[in-house]
Amino acid sequence: MEIAQGDIVLRLSHGKDIFFKVVSIDQQTATASLRGLDIRLCADAPLSDLVKPGIGEIANFRAKSLKLQAEIISQVRAENRFVGKKKQPDFVEIPGTVLHLDGDPEYMDTCRRAYNDLKIVNTCLYIPEKEQSSRVGPLLKQYNPDILVVTGHDGMNKGLSGDDGPENYHNSIEFIEAVTIARSYQPSKDDLVIFAGACQSWYQGLLAAGANFASSPERILIHTLDPVMVVQKVAYTSVARTANIEETLQQSVTGPSGIGGIETRGKFRLGLPKVKQ
């Protein structure tokens, strides 16, 4: 069965565990570059290791993925102390704003819908990982967000040994450079909250560069919505206190194994009076 760019495929050697899209094919080496459909993982695989799932398998996968996304958002809205609750007096509610740079256009759309469902003002932009460091500075000046997300796809390179470092990962160096530039723009970790990374990213390097939250402490795969789940906790935590670090990490889909971080002051503000439109 011929594999072509844009096909949805599974890897036989990994028990067909993750649905991927073929990004490109190197005919000389007979290998394909892959990106996960709901997991922020990029990988390479021999064409001989790939198989195309049937229409029914793809439909079932997409249905389960959409159901999981809906359940995640519903749970967060139910647990969040501010979203959807009436208070006396009738306060103005102002959660933190988000600038989200994503290396995957489909993931970007999924995250934008999630932010909108959670009533978080957001600007979500599709920017390939290799361009994020050159564009993050001007975008911060343009949008002046409370929270910055730099994400996309990542993964550990095969066959590398020696000391751990950014060269052992597909895109960690790109995220690190973007975080470094963002942190030079705003050094305060409370004035600008940064989430950075994707599947298996070099967690230590991202935190050292200045991220508040990053993936992946145990080099595991993370879900499309993990960045949203983490930053929404900060966006809806009062500026008068820090977001509980354990609750924030547990709010993510993959938990502390996939996402880590530091204590961070919230970005939510109440105001009075609430003027009728």
Report domain extents, the chain.
69-271
- Give the position of tokens 């008068």: 240
Q: pLDDT at residue 79 above 70?
A: no
216-256: pLDDT as tens digits: 999 999 999 999 999 999 999 999 999 999 988 888 888 89
Place of tokens 């932010």: 115
β-strand partners of 124:
100
Look over the chain and give the mean of its residue pLDDT values, rounded to a whole number. Answer: 89
Q: Please give the pLDDT value at position 273.
A: 79
pLDDT at residue 271 in the model: 87
Residues with Cβ within 8 Å of residue 82, at least 6 apart in sequence: 93, 95, 236, 268
Long-range pairs for 187-191 at CB < 8 Å and ≥24 separation? 189/262, 189/264, 190/264, 190/265
CA distance 75 to 227: 16
Residue 84, exposed/middle/buried by CB under 10 A (0-12, 13-18, 19+)?
exposed
Pick the CATH number of 69-271 from 3.40.50.720, 3.40.50.2300, 1.10.10.10, 3.30.1120.10: 3.40.50.2300
Per-residue model confidence as pLDDT tens digits over 81-98 = 544 444 556 788 899 999
pLDDT value of residue 49? 92
pLDDT of the residue at 169: 93
List pLDDT tens digits, range 160-189: 655 788 888 999 999 999 999 999 999 999
